[in-house]
């Protein structure tokens, strides 16, 4: 399960499981990545629930 983050023309991908970590980054400054990770950590449960709704099934199936 992952989330994409867009900033201007730049993009990053973070894994939400098994732990929150940067998968890749295309042009977002390190300082901003640190702030983004904190936001993701704070909202991880909400993002996971929205992902489950998006795919329309339980992730553990």
Q: Can you spell out the DSSP letters for 1-61?
A: -EEEEEETTEEEEEE-SSS-EEEEEES--HHHHHHHHHHHHHHHHHHHHHHHHHHTS-TT-
- Strand ordering across the sheet containing 21-26: 2-7, 10-15, 21-26
pLDDT over 90 (residue 56): no
Q: What is the pLDDT of residue 53?
A: 84
Q: What is the pLDDT of residue 29?
A: 96
Model confidence over 17-50: pLDDT tens digits?
A: 999 999 999 999 999 999 999 999 999 999 988 8
Q: What is the pLDDT of residue 57?
A: 61
Q: What is the pLDDT of residue 60?
A: 55
- The whole-angstrom separation of Cα 13 and Cα 40 is 11
pLDDT band at 58 (very low <50, low <70, confident <90, very high): low
């Amino acid at each position: 399960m992952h989330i994409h983050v867009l900033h201007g023309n730049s993009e990053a991908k973070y894994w939400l499981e098994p732990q929150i970590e940067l998968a890749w980054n295309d042009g977002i400054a390190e300082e901003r990545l640190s702030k983004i990770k904190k936001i993701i950590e704070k909202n991880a449960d909400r993002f996971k629930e929205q992902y489950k709704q998006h795919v329309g099934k339980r992730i553990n199936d």
